[in-house]
Amino acid sequence: MSEPLTFFEQVNRNFDKAAAFTSHPPGILEQIKQINSVIHFVFPIKRDDGSVAVMHGWRAEHSHHKLPTKGGIRYAMTVNEDEVMALAALMTYKCAIVNVPFGGATGGVRIAAHEYSESELERITRRFTFELFTKNFIGPGLDVPAPDFGTGQREMAWIADTYATLAPHDINAAGCVTAKPVSEGGIEGRAEATGRGVFYALREVCSIAEDMRAIGLTAGLEGKRVVVQGLGNVGYHTAKFLQEDGGALIVGAAEHEGAIAKRGGIDVEALMAHRLATGSILGFEGATDLASRDLGLEVDCDILIPAALENAITMDNAPRIKAKIIAEAANGPVSSTASEAFFERGVLVLPDTYVNAGGVTVSYFEWLKNLEHVQFGRLEKRFDEQSARRLLTAIEHATGRGFSDQEISSIARGAEEIDLVNSGLEETMIEAYHTVREIFKRGGGAYDLRAASMIGAIDKVALAYKDRGIFP
């Protein structure tokens, strides 16, 4: 039984279920739910062998209640209008939950990126940017792309360069796209931000003893058994932080080529090195190769992290999943009906719109940096350092206690960009969880965390319309 609803239909099903617990007028709810603009581009590119390939690309802007709109650009064979619309809608709700003042958007090109050379991908990306530009679908105040599945810093640098060429008088041109290389106006910490955000989210969720008891787990991440599906940018960083900073055990991993399990825990860096050397996660020392990649999701664990694409978990495999917590590091990995089944079974599903919002949060910081034209921490770093030193000297004089050089340098340290980014991200993920949890508690068991985060998001977007007088 494959998933009967399209991805966008599932997002809207989740929306409708949550909306029923709000009191907003139906017209406002309908306005929030609809895609405001969507465009389909068809353009040719010349391949390295001289032939012409016809590309299909899309960009959906889900909500203009705040501008710019924001969201990734995906290169995958799954890309179609329904997919970008679903992802764009998720972006609106995601931004609302973490208080990032953007509407949601997503775009993509239907290609298997690995079948194209680097120069072909550059031509595709530059031409796609040109299409976005000429149709008013890109700009620092309009619509700001970022990476998604199949794209990364390299593509973002091409987008930024193409936009800057087309808009030479736009002093804020660097803010037309985020997750750029740091040398091109990017911000420290963006590459790992989504994974780091998933880690902060899980650490917070697992720190609440009462909630953990309710699902038969002890508090804390230490020793929790984790399975990660997808070792791309998000899955890899999530696994790395959970292992290195959280003390969790990565007991299973799944990728295109297959899945592995190791009860004692897989060393993430060693697994990545093994994959780089052999082209596969299979055959990793001390781990068992599973019969199929899908079995990776069914490995016995406490926390399952689907970090690849949508619909990885549907009613087909949900009954066999043993995890107590599922953290949606990908967008839409658990189908709407499977999510309901987990709620009935008492499995805690941490929804994508909250748990993977670290990426767009740090994109927001990058955009602010681009508009301010200055690196965070540049003005105050040394001043803060010197103030702390003066304070320590005053304490030394008053108490007669001397501080060691090591104490002084650790206490009197001005924040650098990466410190500020990580601090802002940590605060955002913790704060947002408590907001969502509050709404969830208010429901008294009537709805799950996905609905709770959706209710929070709907309330915020509705407020934007109310404040501008669209309410009756």
Contacting positions for ligand GLU (CB under 6 A):
70-72, 146, 148, 178-179, 331, 356, 359-360, 363
Angle value at C-alpha 354, between 325 and 70, nearest 5 degrees: 145
The minimum distance between CB 414 and ligand GLU, in angstroms, equals: 27
The minimum distance between CB 151 and ligand GLU, in angstroms, equals: 9
The minimum distance between CB 7 and ligand GLU, in angstroms, equals: 13
The minimum distance between CB 330 and ligand GLU, in angstroms, equals: 9
Question: How many contiguous H segments (helices) and E segments (strands) does the chain have?
Answer: 16, 12
Token pair, residue 286, equals 């001390």
End-to-end CA distance of the chain: give it in Å, rounded: 44
* Burial state string for 219-242 with b = 16 or more CB within 10 A and e = fewer than 16: eebeebbbbbbbbbbbbbbbbbbb
Strand order of the β-sheet with 303-306 is 288-289, 258-261, 249-255, 225-229, 303-306, 325-327, 348-350
The minimum distance between CB 356 and ligand GLU, in angstroms, equals: 6
Nearest residue to the partner ligand GLU, using Cβ: 72
Q: The tokens 């909500």 sit on which residue? A: 63
Give backbone dihedrals phi and psi of 405, rounded to 5 degrees, phi first. Answer: -60, -35
CA distance 89 to 127: 25
Q: The tokens 């599922």 sit on which residue? A: 326
Give residue 18's Cα distance to chain centre: 22
Return the number of the residue (127 or 190) whose C-beta is nearest ligand GLU: 190
CA distance 153 to 146: 9
The minimum distance between CB 397 and ligand GLU, in angstroms, equals: 49
The minimum distance between CB 179 and ligand GLU, in angstroms, equals: 6
The minimum distance between CB 304 and ligand GLU, in angstroms, equals: 19
Contact 471, 465 (CB under 8 A): yes
Return the number of the residue (176 or 301) whose C-beta is nearest ligand GLU: 176
Q: Is 371 exposed, middle or buried (0-12, 13-18, 19+ CB in 10 A)?
A: middle
Return the number of the residue (179 or 250) whose C-beta is nearest ligand GLU: 179
Return the number of the residue (178 or 422) whose C-beta is nearest ligand GLU: 178
Return the number of the residue (186 or 359) whose C-beta is nearest ligand GLU: 359
Return the number of the residue (235 or 359) whose C-beta is nearest ligand GLU: 359
CA distance 216 to 69: 41
CA distance 246 to 220: 8
Return the number of the residue (331 or 335) whose C-beta is nearest ligand GLU: 331
Return the number of the residue (70 or 203) whose C-beta is nearest ligand GLU: 70
Return the number of the residue (147 or 258) whose C-beta is nearest ligand GLU: 147
Bond before 68 cis per omega within 30 degrees: yes
The minimum distance between CB 401 and ligand GLU, in angstroms, equals: 47
